[in-house]
Structure 1
Amino acid sequence: MSQQSPNIRRRRLGHVLRGLREEAGLTLEAAAKEAGVPRSTLGRMETAEARRLRYTDLDALADFYEVGAETRDGMHELAQQAKQSGWWSQYKDVFGERALPDWEAEASLIRTFQVQLIPGLFQTPRYAAAIFRGGRATTEDEVSRPVEARINRQSILNRVKPPRMTAVIDEAALHRLVGGAEVMHEQLEHLGHLAVRHNIDVQVLPYQAGEHLGMEGAFTVLDFPESKDTPIVHVETATTSLFLERSEEIEEYNVAFGNLQGVALSTSQSADFISDMIRSLEK
């Protein structure tokens, strides 16, 4: 299984194709007609929505735009990489068609704000299992698979060049006894250990901070090392995952996260806060 992101490859290919068309000064309709490629197909390729990338279409576009051998080979390579499956493809029943790990796989910076829960990348297996039970009577089989998928996501934090991660966690998430006192004690200790890693910053947003720009709910902003790979925002709802890519949306969430960091406790103050919470569970 590939550790690369097929979604990132599709976006890069779309960027190349859109750039070639704009350089030629053509509309989508004109380019598709002249190249002999269906307009809907070219549109989906440029917006990275095409799941099936045919080499015949790529060659037709390469011929029409009169690109060199290097560009043509690059287009084929991106298409080939976009077809590869990451480990998360085994968990479509958990992640859905657009899987968050697909983006996390190549993120260089992950900024997340969580209100009710410890971030998924920081969760212990027992804490995650309690979340998936959600107070319902469930079998271990119903819980074990999503827990396994969630824990597998965390491998990115242990790779040779892990992403930089900043998490702002509302105080409510630290007070909520998910799974009971023992499970929560274990989770908070794990969070404290992660917080001292060189690539991880944890900030607690205390109740006393009052109103802030994240009051509408949790979100995650992912940035990538290549400048052409624009950031993406992930917002999870009760029924689906939303991935926002428009520049104005990214800017809005960047501003919100900056505000959250500004009103949250510092990393050192947050470490003390977490330690106090751990001690309170030991009484």
Structure 2
Amino acid sequence: MANPPPPLARRIELGALLRTYRERASLEVGEVAEALGWSYVQKVGLMESGKRKLAPLELNALLDLYKLSAHERERVIALGKEARKRDTGPAFVADWAQTYVALESAASHLKLYREELVPGLLQTEEYARTILEEGDALTAREIDRAVARRAQRQERLAESDAPRVTVVLSESVLRRAVGRAAVMRGQIDYIHKLANLPNFDVRILPFSVGAHLALGTSFTLLHLGDPMVTFAYVEALTDSDFFDGPPHTEFYTLAFDRAQRASLSSAESLGMLDRVKFEPDPLE
């Protein structure tokens, strides 16, 4: 049975949705705070960023102010109930990555563009270990926990409510020798297996494409809820950036769409996976 998304994910989703309804109502943050008798304007921003829980009375007052339909109210009230539950936080995940892991578990559609490395959600244990062991930043026990956590995240991919996953990988992801040949072959086999699932679409962006809008970066787009809310996530070595609205989400969506259109077809991408898998290992 699928685990429900954590309250953090629902709180962020709720905040983004309420911001959308506020903007639809042509209300400024200050006007909302004044109408609800809130003494500080920042409370609205904290609410819309998912950093503050809303009591039922506060939420109902907002829904009245934004003039939501009966259907919209029902959806938001249910979301608010989930958002008020206590957070436990995923184990063995860095604080700055907690938000992403929470939203990933709630997303209905994930779009992943990667320039150099296979996305964590798609990594085999051997591939993940090879990366995590670099730099001596983690102990052996911490690596074991991180690998186990990634495996837990992958379990959702086989559940009945598995999200749609659209992946665009630069050709360099396949040719970057992470570990020995056996590690890369196992990783490519796993990507090939995922690509054959009905909810997956894996595309390879070949070197021959040249320059493109997403060149030089890696990012994830997460679509949640109905009505849909979109988030863009960009991860660095020790922190991450999260964008939950225009113009950022629109620009990352444009970059992803262009990369996907420039990529090989699904069948051609599978063919490239097979070819690269059996190429000689330059390290051997």
Q: Secondary structure at the match of 1:220?
A: strand
Q: Which position in structure 2 is the counterpart of 1:271?
A: 270
The RMSD of aligned alpha carbons is 3.4
CA contact (8 A) 1:110 1:222 kept: yes
Q: What is the letter of the counterpart of residue 183 of structure 1?
A: V
Q: How far did 1:74 drift?
A: 7.0
Q: What is the letter of the counterpart of residue 48 of structure 1?
A: S
Q: Which position in structure 1 is the counterpart of 2:150?
A: 150
- Higher-Rg structure is 1
Q: Secondary structure at the match of 1:43?
A: helix
Q: How far did 1:151 drift?
A: 1.8
Question: After the TM superposition, which residues 6-85 of structure 1 pair with which residues of structure 2 at under 5 Å, given as runs?
Answer: 6=7, 7-12=9-14, 15-16=17-18, 19=21, 23=25, 27-40=28-41, 42-44=43-45, 46-55=47-56, 57-58=58-59, 77-84=78-85
- String of CA shifts for 1:224-251, please: whole Å, max 9, x gaps: 3412x32111111122121112222222
Q: Return closer, same or farther for 1:160/1:36 CA change in 2, 3 Å cut-off.
A: same
CA contact (8 A) 2:214 2:255 kept: yes
Farther-moved stretch of structure 1 (31-40 vs 112-121):
31-40
Measured in 2, the distance between the counterparts of 1:267 and 1:64 equals 47
TM-score (norm 1): 0.82
> Please, which runs of 5 or more residues in structure 1 have no aligned partner?
none
Q: What is the letter of the counterpart of residue 44 of structure 2?
A: G
Q: How far did 1:101 drift?
A: 2.2
Q: How far did 1:14 drift?
A: 6.2
Q: Return closer, same or farther for 1:142/1:26 CA change in 2, 3 Å cut-off.
A: closer
Q: How far did 1:161 drift?
A: 2.5
Measured in 1, the distance between the counterparts of 2:23 and 2:154 equals 39
Q: How far did 1:33 drift?
A: 4.1
Q: What is the letter of the counterpart of residue 192 of structure 2?
A: G
Asked if residue 236 in structure 1 is aligned to residue 235 in structure 2, the reply is yes
Q: Return closer, same or farther for 1:52/1:92 CA change in 2, 3 Å cut-off.
A: farther
Question: After the TM superposition, which residues 1-283 of structure 1 pair with which residues of structure 2 at under 5 Å, given as runs?
Answer: 3-6=4-7, 7-12=9-14, 15-16=17-18, 19=21, 23=25, 27-40=28-41, 42-44=43-45, 46-55=47-56, 57-58=58-59, 77-84=78-85, 89-91=89-91, 93-96=93-96, 98-134=98-134, 136=136, 139-227=139-227, 229-280=228-279
Measured in 1, the distance between the counterparts of 2:191 and 2:68 equals 51
Measured in 2, the distance between the counterparts of 1:36 and 1:249 equals 31
Q: Return closer, same or farther for 1:246/1:21 CA change in 2, 3 Å cut-off.
A: closer
CA contact (8 A) 2:14 2:76 kept: no
Q: Return closer, same or farther for 1:5/1:124 CA change in 2, 3 Å cut-off.
A: same
- String of CA shifts for 1:115-161, please: whole Å, max 9, x gaps: 11112121111111111112548542131122122222212211103
TM-score (norm 2): 0.82
Measured in 1, the distance between the counterparts of 2:116 and 2:268 equals 20
CA contact (8 A) 2:13 2:224 kept: no
Q: Secondary structure at the match of 1:167?
A: strand
Q: What is the letter of the counterpart of residue 84 of structure 1?
A: K
- String of CA shifts for 1:180-235, please: whole Å, max 9, x gaps: 222112111111111111111111122222111111311111123412x3211111
Q: Secondary structure at the match of 1:247?
A: coil
Measured in 1, the distance between the counterparts of 2:12 and 2:192 equals 37
Q: What is the letter of the counterpart of residue 47 of structure 1?
A: E
